[in-house]
Structures are given as C-alpha cells and as structure tokens.
C-alpha cells in the first residue's frame, strides 16, 4: 500500500469581537490525484471532547463507491485519524449523528437505481463497529437523520415502490440499527424535504409535492411512538424544505419560495399552528440549516457566478429579523475551472459549545471545514440584503393516511483502507483571485459606474494607473485591472457601454377633471424610438399623446414608457385627478313615511365621510351619527316640528376636511 501523505492548509481569518476573543478557523484538504478521491457530499458532527468528525462520499476511478472518514482536532482542525470503507456499489446522501464517542451514519446504497438504506456505527477512532442494510423491495431516499433524547433516531425521506408510486416515510431506529417503527404517508412526494425533532420527541416533517411544485406541500407530525398528531400545509409558494431545529419548543422549518432561490424559515407550534416567518435571503440550492444556542437560525448555501462558487451564511434573531447575511467569494478557490460546477455541496453543525461548523465538499477535488463562533463574523466576506417572502397562510390539507411499513435490516460488509492522499494548498481569505469584472452595457440617467475589483486584501493596478480597489468611470470604453496576492495574480479586462436613458416630462390637461370629462395626457421625451401608455399594467395606447376619462371621483396613476434606439427605457408616472364636489345641505325635511325627504344629511357627490350633530334651539344634543342621516327622532321618539341646529364635519373626495353649521326645519 502506498504511503499516505496528509498535509493540511490553514486559514485563520483573525477577527475581533469573537466570544472569549477566539478566532474563526478554516482548513482545506485537497486531493493529490490518483484513483481515490472525495465524492460530492459529506456530513459533519463533533465528539464529546469537541473533535470534529467528517464523513464524505468516496470516489474510486470516478465511481462513487464507499465513504471517507476523518477525525479533526477540535482547535486546529488538523487530521488525527482517517479511514475509508468501500464496496462495489454507490454510497451517497450521507447523514451522521454522534452520541458520546459513537458515530452513527445513515446513507443511501444505490444498486442499479434501487436505493437501500445503510446504517453504520463507528467508534471514536473511526473503526467500523456495525453495518446493516435494509432488504425490502422499496427504494428509499433520505431527507433527514435526527437523534432523539431517548437514544433513538428518526429518519425521514421518500419511498418509491416497484409500481413507481412515491410516498413519504418516517422511521425510528435504535443505536443498533433495529427498526422500532416505520410509517409511510403522503403519496406524490418528490421535492426535497426536511424534518425537526422537538424536545418531547415529536417529529415534524415536510416536503413538496411531485405534481404541484409551488403548493403548500405536506407537513406532518408524528409522536415518539409513530402516532399521527396532525397534518397540514403552510403557504402557497413552496418547493423545497430542509432540516432546521426547534426554538422555545416550536419547530423551525427552512424552505424555498416559488423561484427556489428565496430561502426563509417558518415557525410552527407543536400542535400545528403557524407562528410567523423570517425575512428571506437569496440562495441557490442545496442549503443546510442549523439553530444556534442563542436561538438564531443559520443557513449555509452555494451560488454561482461565472466559474466561481460562493458560501453564504445568514443569521436571524428570535423575531425572524435578518441580522447577518454574509458571503465568502470563491470558497472553492483551489478547484480548477471545469470541475467547479461539481463543487456545490455543504453541510453544517452546531456543537454543544455554540461553535458553528460548515463542511464544503468539492466533487473529486477535496473539502474544507470552517469553524465560526456564535456571532458568525468573519473576514473575506461581504453583506447582502434580505428579500421578503410572501404570506404563509395555514391550511388543512385534508388529512394524510399513515400506515405501518414493514422493514428489515441485515448485516452488510465493507472493506477498509486509507482515506486517500492530501496536499497543502493555498487556501482561505484572498487565496485564489476571483474574476469580478464582466462586460457590461447599462442604461443610466447619469452615466457613471463604479468598477470594483473585489478580493479583499489584494493589490490592484488599474488601466488609469490607480491602485485602489475601485475606480469610477463616466464614459464607455475598455478597462483592465491586475489583481494579485500571495497565492495568485489575475489580469481582468472589461468592456463597458454606458447609455443615457431618455429624459421625459408628463402633463395632464386639465390637471383636475370632473367625471366623464376627457383628459389629454402628453409626454415629451428628449429622444425616443417607441412610446407606450399603461394603466393598471395594461397597455392603453402608443405614442406621445392619448385621451381618457373616468366616470367617478378618484386618483388614477398612468405610466409612460419611452425606449430609445439602444433599447434604454425610462418609465415615469403621472396621477390624474378626477373630482366633482357637488353636494349641499337641505334646509328642511319631513319624516312622515311618504318616501320623500325621510332623513336629513349632506346630499350630492364628492363626499368621502361625514359626522352629524343635531341640537335644539336651547343647545340639547338630540342626534349624533357617522355617515348616516338623521330621522327626526330622539331616543326613538319623533320630535316636534320646528327649527334645529346642525353641525357637520365632512371630508370630501379631495381629502379636505371642512365643518358646516346651520339651521334646518323639521316638518312631520
């Protein structure tokens, strides 16, 4: 057997403000080549002494067979032990849990497209203690693997039967891999799902529907014995759901919106009631979510731009407000172009001391481990804004049948060997230079653009001989920058075309019209190729003029879009006022049940709301009302004929509040 070379690279982003003054640490482990390499996904956890456990998929000759296991020292993240276990079939979708010094792993065994569940147990030195595989005919796909306080585990995922029907399943297992109970429910499961285990052992699981991708999906709660507690749907813009955690005994489910990139979390009570949601952030899948001891939910994710892969970590407070939303550029900086699009899988874990770990796995390249303290601050990152998800109405999905699922596990053998060779790489903040300039064509009212070279801590030289991280340009042209640090140098060139948007002015004649009167709308651009009028998102006319009329009072917003020869667009708006204030106060009325003049109050058009007070000549209040006429009575009894004094406070359709006083005559 070849001698194993394990050389590690260290990133220490030295920070201020960390708990106890400690720093964040990142180590990256890259392949040295050969037939054995890291797969596309992994899982991370910690032992009782704080050492970190990493288990990744393992490739042999570009075939995904077996697993790699690493034990990293808790402070330095150096490799203490490493082992690999392999067989003749694909092993993927790993999930691990640690109880004391025993490591429990669940994974999918892919044998010709039929997924079997593997359950593996390791000791603290990564020796394989037990391995079993389920031998049923169903194909099981794992979403989550959670540890209960009673020593058991919960597994949640989807199940495909030989007749191609797809269901969700949940399972309880003991530490030997024996099944305590297994249930199937919710047909047509497909989209990624997740689950939360509450302190009382309640499992709340959720996933989207195969045939309804933007539906509320299915949320189901099972007690510790597998009994159905409730099943519901939440919201109508739901595609994926992932594991989160519990806050104050309530479930926190992280999921995506209708465009799959809007990530946010909803809070659900143990009895299935919606309690609120967080602000959203933009992330590409896949994502992982954790809950810190200070009750902040954290999500790590990848996103792509050109040939770069980013890591995003977002943090919400207990009220769902986004307090941190960081992104580290070029997190897989060591992966060569071409392999970068396989480097997209993260996992996260929070240990008992509140340390937040992120595992990133680059397909056939290597992996990194990033440790952050509870405030999650770190160098080489910048902040992005939040986005707002839509409302999440609580819905009853009509119930979901839950039935027992017979399942059995049998022993299964693995062969052990070295975990592979690793070399030191230039890793961490400012390692590989990220390409940041891209050819740009912009439409602007004031042609001015800031070009930023990014890559914090690097050195810069621009085409105008300036040496800052940014330059401002005000005209089209070709610009370049040379970016360098201790690891890399990049010459980046960009072509910029700046167009000035059309400048427009809008007019309405008359400025205030009465109902039924034609209004002439006119627009005057400094340049144009086409012009379009819109009202309520509907195209109403083309050109620079049009006429329109409204049949009632109000304010009506119209939009005018002007395009020039470069397809630059300016969109402006104008508010049309239609107002007819034609109302009066009668000087007499006769509530004698003949159908005429039965009540007294303002009459006419242009009235929004009003209040009436009626007094006798001696100052006694006999009527007070809002938006209703006086019927000539006091406490239900008709008053005597005569004169009465009125006071009216009225708001007209222009929003003007006025007061009116006078005398009216009551004639019975």
E strands, 485-553, are: 489-500, 504-509, 512-513, 519-525, 530-535, 538-542, 545-548
Report how far residue 295's alpha carbon sits from residue 658's, in angstroms, rounded to the nearest whole number.
Answer: 53
User: 596 and 603 in contact (C-beta within 8 Å)?
Assistant: no
pLDDT bracket for residue 498 (50, 70, 90): confident
Judge whether residue 280 has pLDDT over 50: yes
pLDDT in tens, 538-563: 999 999 999 999 888 888 999 999 99
What 3-state DSSP class applies to 342? helix
Domain residue limits, the chain: 449-494, 504-578, 584-666
CATH class of 504-578: mainly beta
pLDDT bracket for residue 601 (50, 70, 90): very high
Query: Which of 176-180, 431-435, 612-616 is least confident?
Result: 431-435
Q: What is the pLDDT of residue 289?
A: 64
Max distance between CA atoms of the chain, in angstroms, equals: 117
pLDDT in tens, 349-363: 888 887 888 887 776
Judge whether residue 12 has pLDDT over 90: no
Report how far residue 43's alpha carbon sits from residue 66's, in angstroms, rounded to the nearest whole number.
Answer: 14
pLDDT in tens, 223-272: 999 988 888 777 654 545 565 667 677 777 776 655 556 777 778 888 88
Report the predicted TM-score, pTM, of the whole model to 2 decimal places: 0.58
Higher pLDDT, 188 or 155: 155
Q: What is the pLDDT of residue 98?
A: 94
What is the distance between the terminal CA atoms of the chain, rounded to a whole angstrom?
Answer: 115
Q: What is the pLDDT of residue 516?
A: 87
Structure-token pair, residue 313: 């970590």
Q: How long a stretch of residues is the chain?
A: 668
Domain 504-578 and domain 584-666, same fold? Reply is yes
High-pLDDT (> 70) share of the chain, % = 69
pLDDT in tens, 563-581: 988 788 889 999 998 888 8
Q: What angle do CA 620, 624, 629 make, to 5 degrees?
A: 120
For 276-309, the three-class secondary structure string (H helix, E strand, C coil) is: EECCEEECEEEEEEEECCCCCEEEEEEEEECCEE
pLDDT in tens, 367-403: 778 887 655 555 444 344 444 444 444 444 444 455 5
pLDDT bracket for residue 89 (50, 70, 90): low
- Nearest in space to 551 (alpha carbons), one of 575, 515, 582: 515
User: 119 and 176 in contact (C-beta within 8 Å)?
Assistant: no
584-666 CATH = 2.60.40
pLDDT in tens, 328-352: 655 554 333 333 344 457 788 888 8
């Amino acid at each position: 057997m070849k001698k194993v070379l394990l050389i590690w690279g260290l990133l220490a982003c030295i920070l201020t403000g960390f708990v106890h003054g400690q720093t964040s640490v990142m180590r990256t482990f890259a392949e040295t080549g050969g037939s054995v390499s890291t797969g596309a996904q992994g899982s991370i956890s910690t032992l009782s002494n704080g050492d970190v456990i990493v288990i990744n998929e393992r490739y042999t000759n570009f075939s995904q067979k077996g697993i790699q296991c690493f034990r990293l020292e808790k402070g330095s993240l150096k490799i203490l032990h490493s082992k690999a276990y392999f067989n003749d079939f694909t092993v993927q979708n790993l999930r691990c849990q640690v109880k004391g010094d025993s490591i429990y792993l669940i994974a999918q065994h892919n044998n010709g497209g039929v997924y079997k569940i593997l359950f593996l147990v390791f000791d603290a030195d990564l020796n394989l203690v037990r391995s079993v595989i389920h031998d049923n005919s169903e194909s099981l796909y794992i979403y989550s693997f959670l540890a209960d306080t009673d020593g058991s585990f919960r597994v949640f995922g989807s199940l495909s039967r030989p007749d191609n029907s797809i269901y969700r399943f949940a399972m309880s297992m003991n530490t030997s891999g024996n099944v305590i109970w297994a249930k199937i429910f919710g047909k047509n499961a497909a989209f990624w799902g997740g689950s939360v285990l509450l302190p009382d052992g309640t499992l709340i699981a959720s996933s989207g529907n195969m045939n309804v991708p933007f539906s509320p999906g299915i949320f189901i709660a099972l007690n510790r014995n597998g009994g159905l507690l409730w099943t519901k749907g939440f919201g109508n813009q739901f595609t994926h759901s992932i594991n989160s955690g519990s806050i104050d005994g309530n479930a926190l489910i992280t999921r995506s919106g209708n465009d799959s990139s809007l990530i946010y979390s909803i809070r659900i009570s143990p009895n299935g009631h919606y309690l609120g949601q967080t602000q959203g952030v933009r992330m590409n899948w896949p994502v992982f979510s954790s809950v810190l001891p200070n009750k902040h939910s954290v999500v790590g994710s990848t996103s792509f731009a050109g040939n770069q892969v980013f890591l995003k970590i977002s943090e919400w407070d207990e009220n769902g407000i986004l307090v941190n939303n960081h992104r580290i550029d070029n997190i897989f900086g060591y992966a060569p172009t071409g392999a970068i699009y396989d480097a997209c899988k993260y996992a996260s874990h929070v240990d008992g001391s509140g340390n937040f770990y992120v595992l990133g796995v680059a397909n056939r390249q290597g992996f990194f481990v990033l440790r952050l303290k509870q405030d999650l601050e770190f160098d080489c990152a910048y902040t992005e804004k939040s986005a707002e998800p839509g409302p999440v109405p609580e819905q009853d999905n009509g119930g979901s049948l839950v039935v027992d699922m017979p399942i059995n596990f049998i022993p299964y053998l693995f062969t052990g060997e070295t975990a592979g060779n690793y070399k030191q790489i230039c890793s961490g903040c400012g390692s590989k230079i990220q390409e940041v300039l891209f050819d740009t064509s912009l439409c602007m009212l004031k042609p001015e653009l800031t070009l930023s070279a990014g890559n914090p801590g690097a050195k810069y030289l621009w085409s105008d001989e300036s040496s800052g991280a940014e330059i401002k340009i005000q005209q089209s042209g070709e610009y370049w920058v040379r970016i360098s640090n201790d690891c890399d140098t990049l010459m980046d060139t960009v072509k910029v075309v700046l167009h000035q948007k059309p400048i427009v002015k809008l007019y309405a004649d008359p400025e205030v019209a009465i109902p039924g009167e034609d209004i002439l709308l006119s627009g005057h651009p400094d340049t144009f190729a086409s012009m379009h009028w819109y009202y309520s998102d509907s195209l109403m006319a083309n050109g620079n003029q049009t006429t329109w009329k409204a049949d009632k009072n109000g304010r009506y917003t119209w939009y005018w879009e002007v395009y020039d020869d470069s397809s630059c667009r300016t969109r402006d708006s104008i508010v049309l006022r239609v107002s007819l204030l034609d109302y009066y106060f009668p000087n007499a009325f006769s509530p004698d049940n003949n159908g005429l003049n039965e009540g007294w109050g303002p009459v006419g058009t242009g009235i929004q709301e009003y209040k009436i007070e009626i007094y006798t000549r001696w100052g006694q209040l006999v009527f007070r009302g809002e938006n209703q006429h006086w019927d000539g009575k006091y406490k239900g009894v008709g008053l005597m004929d005569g004169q009465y004094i009125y006071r009216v406070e009225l708001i007209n359709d222009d929003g003007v509040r006025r007061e009116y006083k006078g005398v009216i005559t009551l004639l019975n």
